[in-house]
């Protein structure tokens, strides 16, 4: 292997070991098995025509965890997909809203406006909803601004009960993130569950940074149900519903009689399930999952080469072999379709590893962001020492440092544009948390960097930056900052007695530039300029009021009073037309003429 080519690892085996070495699977299946026994004992001998959902809460004697188990009776199988009780139909979010069941609307966002759910799963969940609702007071507790779990929670289910468990977990996650993300989240473990929804659902879950890790789906190589919806003909539940394909979410524990492998890359999961869906498999007996859990728990799962019985070139090849074995394909099967599948899995595994490395790059980029902001702060301080201020230094571009700073500005702007776009793509609740988390950094960035964009805009001879040149990401960052300030309640604002390092209004210099245009128009045309002169005078009256308000609130940096700043250029030229404007006794004129501005910001 080339020294320059990074080793690609597959962590599925290690993750599978971690799951099996804990008691999560046995604990979950014991709860499901107990519920089946209870339901069977209390049910009439003649089974109902369609599966009926049931659930029960199981608390451990040592209070270490709570398990909520879901099943249906009779047990849901792939045969039910061909029957008239929902089959493979998808119900769209629009239909759910029309049916007065909007309890999953939180999955919609600007970037992901709709989704669809398996008809049988959402129907069963809806039938249980009135009984499920009181569970929140039993499972959750409010601590300040956080809604938290009272105890560690496992939500589990078998077959269609697993689909109901997934929906319950999603609903619970939304309630827990209604104020701010919880520190401890529920874990949903399903056994032989059919897929729950379409691409819209997949995207809604994937957009939440912590939600995908809350779902572990156990799928046996001999169970047709987990893959059945990938090949079954799909019909929309109404004419308004669009026909979509089912897609998985979460992590999958793919198992056969001898081994198992955790697969988190959902494209690989879909490919593995699709391959199994082509085989004719009969319904899997309920007890088979219990036997499989017991066997895998007792088996020592070794590293790649020993478990496979032959040496592997690297971890990635071992992982692919395990994935194939987990759906019942041994290494000795040399069918062309198997070779083709292995090749495709290798490509997807490499792409998945690339994405993981990209996540590490994001962490490095964050450190680089901090360095570039520090460089801008140094540039601001150095420009002040030279008597111009960084706005005018950047506008004039007279030194190498002025030119070099443009590279740092571009890097920062690209980063924050992407971040704002990502926040906009999230659901309303998660976007609110996302904005709050990055609000301080975004506000500092906007106040530091937008003046440089304004300098470029007016250096090129443009007019009206706010309407013609302002980037939407600045507008959103400013809106979020104002919304946050308003959302903190009507707390009495502390009176400021000192000047911040940056001017609070990041568009301050755009107002200065427009005021300069107004002054020069009046110098050229005087009062005889008709409508233009009248508009210029109004602009200058408003500008004086605005600037004085900023000064009184200590909201502008004292660098605006540096001798060579654009503001001081405006002040010198404005004195020539002050009689035309009629502002001889304005607060700002008196403030400037008295020289009080010279001590602005001093203790």
- Confidence class of residue 275 from pLDDT cuts 50, 70 and 90? confident
Task: Note the pLDDT of residue 18.
Answer: 65
Helix (H, G, I), strand (E, B) or coil at 320: helix
Model pTM score: 0.61
Contact 270, 236 (CB under 8 A): no
Segments making up each domain of the chain, as ranges? 12-333, 385-599
Distance between CA atoms of residues 113 and 32, nearest Å: 35
Question: Tell me: the pLDDT tens digits for 157-195?
Answer: 999 999 999 999 999 999 887 556 567 889 999 999 999
Token pair recorded at residue 294: 């017991």
C-alpha radius of gyration, the chain, whole number: 32
Question: What number is the average pLDDT over the span 453-460?
Answer: 95
In this prediction, residue 306 carries a pLDDT of 35
Q: How far apart are CA 71 and CA 61, in angstroms?
A: 23
Residue whose C-alpha is closest to residue 68's, from 131, 17, 12: 131
Say what percent of the chain tops pLDDT 70.
74
- Give CA–CA dist 600/67, Å, rounded: 64
List pLDDT tens digits, range 12-67.
Answer: 455 556 667 778 889 999 999 999 999 988 887 766 677 899 999 999 877 778 99
Give yes or no for a contact between 171 and 188, defined as CB atoms under 8 angstroms apart. no
> pLDDT at residue 139 above 60?
yes
Q: Which of the four pLDDT bands, split at 50, 70 and 90, describes residue 438?
A: confident
Contacts for 536 with CB less than 8 Å, ≥ 6 apart: 517, 518, 519, 521, 522, 529
Report residue 151 CA to chain centroid gap: 26
Distance of CA 150 to the CA centre of its chain: 26
**Sole residue written with tokens 């019942």:** 328
Superfamily of chain region 12-333:
Alpha/Beta hydrolase fold, catalytic domain (3.40.50.1820)
The confidence band for 368, taking pLDDT boundaries of 50, 70 and 90, is confident
Burial class (CB in 10 A: 0-12, 13-18, 19+), 411: middle
Distances (CA, A) of 381 to 3, 387, 497: 45, 10, 21
CB under 8 Å to 132, separation ≥6 — which residues? 55, 125, 168, 171
CB-based contact 53:127 (threshold 8 Å): yes
Of the candidate ranges 216-225, 233-242, 327-336, 470-479, the one whose mean pLDDT is the lowest? 233-242
Which band of pLDDT confidence, cut at 50, 70 and 90, is reported for residue 347? low
- Tell me how far the alpha carbon of residue 433 is from its chain's centroid: 10
DSSP H helix total and E strand total for the chain = 23, 13
The Cβ-side half-sphere exposure at 583, using a 13 Å CA radius, reads: 26
Query: DSSP states of 564-584 as a string?
Result: TSHHHHHHHHHTTTHHHHT-T
b/e sequence 128-164, b meaning 16+ C-beta within 10 Å: beeebeebeeebbeeeeeebebeeebbbbbbbbbbbb
- For residue 507, the Cα-to-chain-centroid distance in whole angstroms is 29
CA-to-CA separations, 360 to 162, 251, 319, 355, 514, in angstroms, rounded = 34, 21, 22, 9, 44
Residue 230 has a pLDDT of: 80
Does residue 286 carry a pLDDT above 70? yes
Find out whether 421 and 402 touch, Cβ atoms under 8 Å: no
Token code pair at residue 535? 């508009």
CA atoms of 97 and 122, how far apart (whole Å): 13
Contact indicator for 10, 324 with CB cutoff of 8 Å: no
Q: Quote the crossing angle between the two packed helices 336-385 and 428-459, to the nearest 10°.
A: 50
**How deeply is 51 buried, as exposed, middle or buried, from its count of CB atoms within 10 A (0-12, 13-18, 19+)?**
buried
* Residue 309, Ramachandran bin (φ over 0: left; ψ between -120 and 50: alpha; else beta): left
């Amino acid at each position: 292997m080339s020294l320059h080519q990074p080793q690609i690892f597959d962590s599925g085996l290690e993750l599978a070991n971690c799951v099996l070495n804990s008691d999560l699977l046995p604990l979950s299946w014991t709860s499901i098995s107990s519920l089946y026994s209870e339901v069977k004992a209390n049910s009439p001998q003649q089974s109902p025509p369609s599966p009926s959902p049931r659930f029960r809460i199981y608390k451990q004697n040592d209070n270490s965890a709570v398990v909520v188990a879901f099943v249906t009776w009779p047990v849901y199988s792939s045969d039910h997909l061909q029957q008239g009780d929902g089959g493979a139909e998808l119900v769209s979010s629009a239909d759910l809203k029309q049916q007065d069941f909007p309890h999953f609307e939180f999955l919609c966002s600007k970037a992901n406006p709709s989704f669809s759910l398996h008809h049988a799963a959402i129907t069963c969940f809806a039938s249980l909803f009135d009984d499920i609702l009181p569970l929140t007071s039993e499972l959750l507790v409010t601590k300040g601004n956080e809604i938290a779990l009272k105890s560690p929670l496992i939500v589990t289910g078998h077959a269609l009960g697993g689909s109901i468990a997934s929906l319950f977990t999603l609903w619970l996650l939304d309630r827990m993130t209604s104020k701010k993300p919880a520190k401890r989240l529920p874990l949903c473990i399903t056994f032989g569950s059919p897929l729950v929804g379409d691409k819209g659902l997949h995207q809604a879950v994937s957009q939440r940074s912590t939600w995908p890790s809350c779902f572990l789906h156990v799928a046996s190589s001999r169970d047709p149900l987990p893959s059945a919806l990938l090949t079954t003909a799909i019909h929309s539940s109404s004419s308004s519903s669009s026909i979509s394909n089912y897609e998985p979410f979460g992590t999958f524990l793919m198992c056969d009689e001898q081994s198992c492998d955790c697969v988190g890359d959902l494209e690989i999961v879909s490919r593995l399930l699709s391959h199994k869906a082509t085989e004719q498999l009969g319904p899997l007996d309920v007890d088979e999952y219990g036997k499989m859990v017991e066997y895998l728990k007792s088996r020592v799962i070794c590293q790649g080469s020993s478990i496979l019985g032959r040496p592997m070139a690297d971890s990635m090849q071992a992982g692919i072999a395990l994935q194939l074995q987990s759906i019942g394909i041994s290494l000795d099967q040399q069918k062309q379709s198997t070779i083709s599948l292995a090749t495709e899995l290798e490509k997807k595994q490499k792409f998945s590893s690339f994405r993981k490395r990209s996540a590490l790059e994001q962490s490095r980029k964050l450190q680089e962001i901090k360095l570039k902001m520090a460089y801008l702060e140094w540039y601001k301080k150095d420009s002040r020492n030279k008597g111009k201020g960084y706005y005018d230094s950047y506008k004039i571009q007279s030194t190498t440092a002025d030119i070099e700073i443009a590279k740092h500005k571009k890097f920062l702007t690209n980063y924050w544009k992407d971040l704002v776009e990502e926040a906009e793509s999230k659901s309303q609740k998660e976007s609110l948390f996302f904005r709050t988390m990055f609000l301080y950094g975004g506000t500092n960035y906007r106040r530091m960097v937008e003046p440089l964009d304004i300098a470029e805009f007016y250096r090129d001879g443009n007019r009206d930056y706010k309407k013609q040149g302002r980037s939407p990401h600045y507008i959103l960052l400013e809106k979020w900052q104002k919304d946050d300030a308003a959302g903190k309640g009507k707390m009495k604002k502390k009176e400021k007695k000192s000047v911040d390092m940056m001017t609070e209004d990041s568009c301050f210099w755009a107002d200065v530039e427009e005021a300069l245009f107004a002054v020069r128009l009046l110098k050229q045309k005087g009062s005889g300029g008709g409508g233009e002169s009248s508009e210029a005078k109004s602009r200058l009256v408003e500008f004086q009021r605005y600037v004085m308000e900023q000064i009184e609130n200590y909201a502008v940096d004292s660098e605006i009073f540096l001798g060579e700043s654009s503001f001081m250029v405006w002040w010198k030229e404005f004195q020539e037309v002050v009689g035309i404007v009629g502002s001889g006794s304005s607060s700002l004129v008196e403030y400037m003429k008295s020289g009080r501005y010279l001590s602005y910001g001093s203790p």
